[in-house]
Structure 1
Amino acid sequence: MTLRQAQGTGVRPVIGLTTYKQRAQTGVWDVTAAFLPAVYFEAVQRAGGIPVLLPPQPVDAEIVGRVLDGLDGLIVTGGADVDPARYGQDAAPETDKPHLERDAWEDALLSAAIDRELPFLGICRGMQVLNVNRGGSLHQHLPDLVGNDRYRIGKGQFATNEVVVEPGSELDALVGAKLPVKSYHHQAVDTVGDGLRVTARTDDGIVQAVELEGVPFGVAVQWHPEEDAAEDARLFAGLVDAARTYAGAKA
């Protein structure tokens, strides 16, 4: 699938993207704010979608339903670690302080999206949210497992790692058998959640992508495709194309 195909004639689907909600500084202001790096929604725009931001808020089934009524696709974005209590563990020393409101909001959005068969893409934290949502667990600190910092070298600098993709998967159709990816994470999937198929790994066996079986488009990757417009734009094109089909079916 090419970007030209994704941007072709037809409806421009609305894609919701989850956001941070934490302290931010701009100009004279130092406040709690909902925000998201522009590379995320710019990737959606280039793929032919209309991005809208979904800030964390109290979970309510009516609110979640109303939000999803206005969407044709969903992206659960990167950010802080998922609360280990959600998968039955105590927090490791290296695990981030939990963002409980965001955890609950994204979990509710994903559950409702899956029920509706709304196309979705999980990115980094988003893949971990999906795995926990499906009853899986996480490795809380990868250096303890792999013996190095190859996935998060720190200081806002993305590491490059090569992933090997499962033949015949949705991911294979989008990006091919192998590709270099931009990594910035210190956690990863441990026990794989119900209904999830592992579709990419690195050479040390760490899970790098999963797909939810039984839905039209449910892909999640451990890396940051928004950081590589040349290679990973195809993931956003795939989501937007699936979202266009979803929008057409409900019109």
Structure 2
Amino acid sequence: MSKPLIGVTTYLDQARWGVWDLPAALLPAAYPRLVQAGGGHAVMLPPDEPYAAAAVVARLDALVVAGGADVEPVRYGAEPDPRTGPPARERDAWELALVEAALASGTPLLGICRGMQLLNVARGGTLVQHLDGHVEAVGVIGRHEVKPVPGTLYAALVPEAASVPTYHHQAVDRLGAGLAPSAYAEDGTVEAVELPGPGWALGVQWHPEMGEDLRVIRGLVAAARARRG
């Protein structure tokens, strides 16, 4: 059986390489390497028109929504906190449309950091715009422990408390409709959410692409294979 095709969303930013300094669709190499290590083929999904999301998702076996900029607070009905970063409006519109298309079609979905927050917002939830203790230093990935909630999809993949790579200053506040928390940090921060039901939709607040534990990505790949039949 061929490997499942897994789309990964990208940044849209100014970048320099060689002699060039141009707008670029960017994705840290750790993301496609994670998908490949988990048994999938990775394809990059740069921001596009939201109306195209359903057609794009229809060609994928699974979707990964990558980390990145803070979700614009207007998306969940809030005024921006002074510590909230500048918006990435093209990414917000495109990735929310992708999330909604994946949920509507039953396409397996993994949200990573920002991706988990977008999953929550897509379901009508809100975000804490700033919290301390989950960033070790600017540009430095830290680690802390998360504990799974028994009986959840995440707990079936990772049944024990685990140390995870973390870099975030925002988190889930009010859970979106139908979502259930599936892991917590020691300070009570929701570290994973999922959508119970026949599909496979999981968001993790940490960065599995920066670690060695492949159980979450292997779970996504297995769900992609099962759905493809």
TM-score (norm 2): 0.97
Q: Which of 125, 132, 144 is the aligned partner of 2:121?
A: 132
Shift of 1:216: 2.1
Query: Unaligned regions of 5+ residues in structure 1, if any?
Result: 1-9, 144-149
Shift of 1:47: 1.2
Q: Which of 55, 66, 77 is the aligned partner of 1:77?
A: 66
CA distance in 2: counterparts of 1:159 and 1:45, whole angstroms:
24
2:98 — aligned with what? 109
Q: Which of 196, 206, 216 is the aligned partner of 1:235?
A: 216
1:169 aligns with 2:174: no
Moved over 3 A (4+): none
State the aligned residue count.
229
Shift of 1:247: 1.5
2:134 — aligned with what? 151
Cα offsets for 1:147-203 (capped at 9, x unmatched): xxx211233211111001001111111112210011100000000100100010011
Query: Unaligned regions of 5+ residues in structure 2, if any?
Result: none
CA distance in 2: counterparts of 1:75 and 1:138, whole angstroms:
20
Question: More displaced, 12-21 or 152-161?
Answer: 152-161
1:224 — aligned with what? 207
Cα offsets for 1:26-78 (capped at 9, x unmatched): 11111110010011111111111010000012221xx2222112100000000
The higher relative CO (CA closer than 8 Å, separation ≥ 6) is in: 1
CA distance in 2: counterparts of 1:42 and 1:247, whole angstroms:
22
Q: Which of 28, 34, 44 is the aligned partner of 1:53?
A: 44
CA distance in 1: counterparts of 2:168 and 2:20, whole angstroms:
29
2:82 — aligned with what? 93
1:12 — aligned with what? 3
* Root-mean-square deviation (Å): 1.0
3-state DSSP class of the match of 2:228? helix
1:22 aligns with 2:3: no
Q: Say if 1:54 and 1:84 are closer, same or farther in 2 by CA, change over 3 A.
A: same
Aligned-residue sequence identity (percent) comes to 49
